[in-house]
Structure 1
Amino acid sequence: MTKLSVNINKVATIRNSRGGNIPDVIQVAVDCQLFGAEGITVHPRPDERHIR
């Protein structure tokens, strides 16, 4: 069986471009798991461009 892991870097990119905390990266990750994702993927960068 194939398992789904959701990459939330793009959610963080959208949040950063808008300023503030919308969309909330943590809430998106929690929702993905509640909807059945097996895992959450984050690719941290040294400059913290996506995830802070």
Structure 2
Amino acid sequence: MKALFVESQNMTQRRIGLAGNLLERAEVCAGRDPQRAAELRNAAMAYLGVVR
């Protein structure tokens, strides 16, 4: 049971990590390429919507 909880927790952290990474990348490129930043934000939101 404990292993199942730990595995679930690790998956949640990875999901948040991927979405967070996309959002960080969007923030970094927002000044140079606003369109790319919007695409990255949309990708993060879509990913979070799928993994729910």
Q: TM-score w.r.t. structure 2 length?
A: 0.42
* Greater fraction strand: 1
* Greater fraction helix: 2
Structure of higher RCO (CA pairs closer than 8 Å, 6+ residues apart)? 1
Over alpha carbons, which structure has the higher Rg?
Answer: 2
Q: TM-score w.r.t. structure 1 length?
A: 0.42
